[in-house]
Amino acid sequence: MGIPLNSVLNLSEEQIKNSKIELNTKTGTTQVPFIDMWLERSEEERRTGAPCVTCYWGWFGNKRNFHEGQWVFSFIRLGDGNDWLFASAAKVLAVPKGRQADVEILTEYAPLFGRLIINLYKGNKFSRYTFNLSKYLDDATVKEILPVMYSGDEFRGYDQVHLPFAKLDRIFRREIMPSFHDALESVTGVYCLTDTKTGKLYIGSATGEGGVAARWGSYLDSKHGGNKKLRELYKREGAEYFRKYFEFTLLEYFGMSYDPIKVLKREQWWKDCLDTREHGYNDN
């Protein structure tokens, strides 16, 4: 049996009765995972548990979520399972209609914001996300307290590298998922750039020092990476087009000492298979 959550929160019976728990998953309209929105915040905001769009909404339709004086413990789901990240905790000061509650952060819990991960089965509660803490406290267990704040998914293997431009940019700026950059720096390979607006592809390879990380870094800097058709696209559409529509996928990977000529042959093979010279962004 895991460590009970309250062994970390240390709440009295009276405090438990006066507390709520938020179990936030995705936005109601666009279905964007709240964890992605939380990761977009500044490190200072995440560290201090500052209120954001993911927490402290005082009303659900005409139903009141909180009352003045209650404590709220806000968790965000990680992935699609039963793991939840502790994002914030606060005392409710006011509950105005139509917007988030006015709150005061419970700073005694700040060292755990973004670090405490619990395991909890929410059940089939559909759109509901705010509950009495007593409903779940006995079933919630501590899975892990991270040494540093959560920064996103960890590297799961070279065969699962598929990243939107904006997320790759944050990885390379060392804001999230530091293991990704280190992994990409350790291999050469063949990759695909996907223009999700038009469906066009670009096949390229990375064989030099710094591996795939160095090559992809050049796209983050210039957007076009020096490629002819991508330069033409950049002149027409500008930098924001790449940030909004381009995705990076690693098709094949090899060790740093692997024969670069063989890597280039694999690049040509992929270009032929996907016909990216005729229907994509490759020109050779």
According to DSSP, residue 204 is labeled E
* pTM higher than 0.85: no
Angle, vertex CA 34, rays to CA 32 and CA 38, nearest 5: 125
Let me know: does 65 contact 51? Beta carbons within 8 Å.
no
CA atoms within 13 A on the CB side of 206: 30
- How much is the pLDDT for 125? 58
- Neighbour-count burial for 103-114, b at 16+ CB within 10 Å, e otherwise: bebbeebeebbb
pLDDT per residue rounded down to tens, the chain (284 residues): 689 999 999 999 999 999 999 998 876 666 678 888 888 888 899 999 998 777 898 888 888 899 999 999 999 999 888 999 999 999 999 999 888 899 999 999 999 999 999 999 987 755 678 999 999 999 999 999 987 788 776 777 899 999 999 999 988 987 777 778 889 999 999 999 999 999 999 999 999 999 999 999 999 999 999 999 999 999 999 999 999 999 999 999 999 999 999 999 999 999 999 999 999 999 98
- How much is the pLDDT for 1? 62
Alpha-carbon gap, residue 142 to 148, rounded angstroms: 16
- How much is the pLDDT for 151? 79
Alpha-carbon gap, residue 56 to 38, rounded angstroms: 14
According to DSSP, residue 271 is labeled H
Which residues of the chain form beta strands (DSSP E)? 3-4, 19-24, 59-60, 63-64, 71-78, 83-94, 102-105, 116-119, 130-132, 141-145, 162-164, 187-195, 201-206, 246-255
- How much is the pLDDT for 30? 64
According to DSSP, residue 107 is labeled G
Output the CA–CA distances (angstroms, integers) from residue 36 to 70, 170, 246, in the order listed.
27, 12, 18
Alpha-carbon gap, residue 209 to 207, rounded angstroms: 7
CATH superfamily of 158-279: GIY-YIG endonuclease (3.40.1440.10)
Output the CA–CA distances (angstroms, integers) from residue 103 to 93, 107, 205, in the order listed.
5, 12, 51
Boundaries of every domain in the chain: 3-145, 158-279
Q: Which are the contacts of 119, defined by CB distance < 8 A and separation ≥ 6?
A: 2, 82, 83, 84, 140, 141, 142, 143
CA 238 to chain centre: 26
Identify which of 140, 157, 14 has the alpha carbon closest to the alpha carbon of residue 84.
Answer: 140
- How much is the pLDDT for 187? 95
- How much is the pLDDT for 169? 93
Identify which of 235, 205, 219 has the alpha carbon closest to the alpha carbon of residue 166.
Answer: 219
CA 205 to chain centre: 26
> What is 150-189 written as a DSSP string?
--SPPP--GGG-EEEHHHHHHHHTTSS-HHHHHHHTTEEE
Let me know: does 12 contact 150? Beta carbons within 8 Å.
no
